[in-house]
Amino acid sequence: MNPIIVANWKMNPQTLKGAFELTKAVRKGVRSANANVVLCPPYVFIPQLLAAKNMEIGAQNCSWQEQGPLTGEVSPRQLKDLGCSYVILGHSERKKELGETLAMVQRKVAAALTAKLRVILCVESVAELRTLKKKVRSFKNVAVVYEPSFAISTQGGRRVAPRHIAAMVSRLKKVAGRNVPVLYGGSVDAKSMRDIMTKGNVQGALVGAASLKAKEFIALVKNAL
Ligand code: PGA
């Protein structure tokens, strides 16, 4: 299986021009790589990047509802209709900063799968995954990300030993299913990628800060192969 490398741009860059430039550089650099590279820009850039840049594009969030009166929300169906293929759900920043609960994440996962999006599902523990699984019938189009918040670059960036990651991967697979890809997230950069892939036994990574620098990100993708 090709590694899945998901770029989580968060609330960056600040201009459409910046988003175009980053996408163009990444596309050129990873063109021949045997990896599923998914760029997840802020919602506002998605239509233009989809139209012009010929890369897999995902969103960083979606609503749990298909339609209706939810001011400021974007439905999974709208994302699918635009041409998005993936959505990141359950990110710890949304839980901590925006009050997103596991019950909300459960509903979002179900809605995204119904809309035929692939879900990049972030968890910090096996217990969280167990809770989420209760309401999600199939993990067929789900990739689980083990992303402890203390490892995220803006929250301390603590290094997690690859053997600890490997142990978590096997525990998470016991809950999600053997064939469900498990990725790692938290300060992954070009230098750490190879060890995380090989010794951490993951099928890819969710990348924040390092995905905003084209050169670094391209090197990271190559080190995942
Ligand atoms: P980081 O972010 O790579 O900057 O730690 C990862 C994430 O929050 O998804």
| pLDDT the model gives residue 51 | 83
Cα–Cα distance measured from residue 73 to residue 81, given in angstroms and rounded to the nearest whole number: 15
| pLDDT the model gives residue 52 | 75
Residue 212's identity, in one-letter code, is L
Closest by CA position to 6, among listed 196, 188, 141: 188
Ligand 1 binding pocket, CB closer than 6 Å: 8, 147, 152-153, 185-188, 206-210
Mutation test residue for ligand 1: of 93, 188, 221, the one with most atoms within 8 Å of CB: 188
Rounded to the nearest angstrom, the distance between the alpha carbon of 207 and the centre of ligand 1 is 5
Q: Which residues contact 109 (CB under 8 A, 6 or more apart)?
A: 89, 90, 119, 121, 132, 135, 136, 142
Closest by CA position to 221, among listed 57, 38, 49: 38
Query: Which residue ranges form the domains of the chain, and what is each CATH number?
Result: 4-223 (3.20.20.70)
Nearest CA to ligand 1 atom 3: 208
147 is annotated as an active-site residue: yes
For residue 92, give Cα distances in angstroms to 6, 43, 71.
Answer: 16, 18, 22
- Exactly one of 91, 93, 124, 128 is catalytic; which is it? 91
22-78: per-residue pLDDT in tens? 999 999 999 988 999 999 999 999 999 998 777 899 999 999 999 999 999 999 999
Low-confidence residues of the chain: pLDDT under 50: none
164 is annotated as an active-site residue: no
pTM for the predicted model, two decimal places: 0.97
